Amino acid sequence: MSAPRYLHTRERGFTLVELVMVIVILGVISSMVAVIMRGPIDAYFATARRAALTDLADTVFRRLERDLRKALPNSIRTPVTVPANQCLEFIPTKTGGRYRADNSAAGLSFTTADTSFNMLGHNSILPADQRIVAGDYIAISNYGPNQPGADAYIQDNTSLVTNVGTDFQNASPLGWETPITITSKLFPLASDSKRFHVIPAAEHVVSYVCSGNKLYRTANSTDFTSSCPTTGAVIATNVASCFFDNTGTDLARNALVRIVLQLKDGKNNEAVQLQEEVHVDNTP
């Protein structure tokens, strides 16, 4: 019996030339894919950067809108600064009410200086941040600088609250009232609807100012003057430009405040510009 035969197969691998060709082909394909994908990827990151800038601008607009809707009627203004329309300021309010207007001691007089009056309604049931307290200011019939005796910035029609009494129920006429003591004041103009506004003790004048690629919010709590300072809280950075306009008024009853804000990403040179229009009620 003869010995078995074994079949021997020759094993063959890739040659160096084949490996080089595969690497070259993969490199060409990768380059083509990279060129095709670069545009959408760049667009995605650019969109993300613009979305982040838009979100920041939207946050600024919401803060401004919330403040402006609480502004004392006819107190919004854009002082002349360098450059112009870079500052927006107004007198904020925390609440409002109606004063008693009869000839009794509890009524508010507009013929002689008065030191107290009764507010119609409960002060104690208001939210804590809206209650009238000593240190606040009362403002009545604010029409602005075009009406003599009606400009809160020079305190023609404001008076300091020195004390707030306890709510009580008046028997005649029946209803709740709150005694309010103020510094002696002869208010020049009565309100047709017997309304008054309350300026908080902590914020007399609020200013929004664009300066040095930043947007500042400053609250003056010492007096009613303002020079558009840039020492307050920073509301936004990377501000390329801003513009405030308060010319859209209608018979002193309504106002349209226009705000244009441009934000820029310094690293990628990405920029967005947004505009917001805020309607405010100027009825004194």
Same domain flag for 125 and 181: yes
Range of the domain at 136: 95-199
Same domain flag for 84 and 212: yes
Same domain flag for 185 and 238: no
Backbone angles phi, psi at 94, to 5 degrees: -105, -25
Instruction: Specify the pLDDT at position 42.
Output: 65
Same domain flag for 122 and 189: yes
Q: Could you read off the pLDDT of 86-141 as tens digits, one per residue?
A: 999 999 999 999 999 888 889 999 999 999 999 999 999 999 999 999 999 999 99
Same domain flag for 103 and 185: yes
Distances from the Cα of 270 to the Cαs of 41, 52, 103, 213, in angstroms? 15, 11, 65, 15
Same domain flag for 108 and 191: yes
E strand or H helix at 42:
helix 16-68
Same domain flag for 248 and 266: yes
Whether this prediction's pTM lies above 0.85 is answered by no
87-109 burial, b if ≥16 CB within 10 A, otherwise e?
Answer: bbbbbbbbbbbebbbeeeebbbb
Same domain flag for 151 and 277: no
Last residue of a domain, one of 181, 199, 217: 199
Asked whether residue 257 is assigned to any structural domain, the reply reads yes
Distances from the Cα of 178 to the Cαs of 56, 98, 163, 168, 236, in angstroms? 43, 11, 11, 7, 41
Query: What is the rounded CA–CA span in Å between residue 131 and residue 156?
Result: 24
Q: Could you read off the pLDDT of 39-91 as tens digits, one per residue?
A: 776 666 667 777 787 888 888 999 999 999 999 999 999 887 767 789 999 99
Same domain flag for 109 and 186: yes
Instruction: Specify the pLDDT at position 35.
Output: 72
The confidence band for 29, taking pLDDT boundaries of 50, 70 and 90, is confident
Asked whether residue 11 is assigned to any structural domain, the reply reads no
Same domain flag for 228 and 252: yes
Asked whether residue 32 is assigned to any structural domain, the reply reads no
Instruction: Specify the pLDDT at position 21.
Output: 84
Last residue of a domain, one of 170, 199, 228: 199
Provide the domain count of the chain: 2
Asked whether residue 255 is assigned to any structural domain, the reply reads yes
Asked whether residue 39 is assigned to any structural domain, the reply reads no
Contact 117, 260 (CB under 8 A): no
Same domain flag for 209 and 70: yes
Last residue of a domain, one of 141, 176, 199: 199
| 238 DSSP 8-state letter | S
pLDDT higher than threshold 90 for residue 32 = no
**In the predicted model, what is the mean pLDDT of the chain?**
86
Instruction: Specify the pLDDT at position 2.
Output: 59
Asked whether residue 15 is assigned to any structural domain, the reply reads no
